[in-house]
Amino acid sequence: MIDLETGRFVLREGVELYPGMTREDFFQSPLYATELYHESDKEDPKEPSYFLKIQNIDGYEMSLDLYFSKHDYLIEIDITKPEFYNWPNWPEDVSEEEYAYAIKRYNDQFLASQIQGSLREGTELWFDYMWGSITSSISLRHTPSVKITIRYDEIPFLEAKGMKFDDIDILDLY
């Protein structure tokens, strides 16, 4: 469940992702210990992203990619139906567009269950919160992209550590 007040994303009991989660917090989590798709990701402690094994979240099988900033905060979670990653070997009995939209509908059903609300259909849904945002999108340009993205704002955590943003190059944030 995604707590819309705090941004906490509980995958199952005792397993959660949240705004302000540091790389070190992630290293101490069950996700890092047992759920990395590529164990080789443990070889580089500054790996920018981690692809997880398929997660069953409230009855939905979902694939998750986690992204960390250069300041070692979790800043993005990409979530999608696992079959998305079978591209370009999607079923041939339906068009690529139809299959992509079926994945989008599945993703949107998952998102609606997580935020406990109904969603309208569309190519992109966007929700802003004090802690970040949630989007559900589809793009069929070039390589298809069908995903839910949770973005966490790391600025409050960096400010709490004393970082000032009055005269900073935007490239220093990435």
Higher pLDDT, 136 or 125: 136
What is the predicted pLDDT for the residue at 164? 80
Q: What is the pLDDT of residues 49-96, one digit of tens each?
A: 999 999 999 999 999 999 999 999 999 999 999 999 989 889 999 999
* pLDDT the model gives residue 34: 95
**Residue 142 — very low, low, confident or very high, per pLDDT cuts 50/70/90?**
confident
Report field, pTM of the whole predicted structure over 0.85: yes
Domain boundaries, the chain: 9-173
Lowest mean pLDDT among 9-18, 28-37, 91-100, 154-163: 154-163
Q: How far apart are CA 117 and CA 93, in angstroms?
A: 33
| pLDDT band, residue 121 (cuts 50/70/90) | low
Q: Check residue 38 and give its pLDDT.
A: 93
d(CA 65, CA 75): 11
Q: Which residues neighbour 111 within 8 Å (Cβ) at sequence distance 6 or greater?
A: 119, 125, 134, 136, 148
The residues, ordered by sequence, that sit 6+ positions from 157 with a Cβ below 8 Å of its Cβ are 19, 20, 73
pLDDT score at 27:
97
Written as six digits, the tokens of 51 are 């692809």
Contact 172/155 with Cβ under 8 angstroms?
no
Distances (CA, A) of 169 to 154, 159, 162, 164: 16, 15, 16, 11
pLDDT at 40 over 70: yes
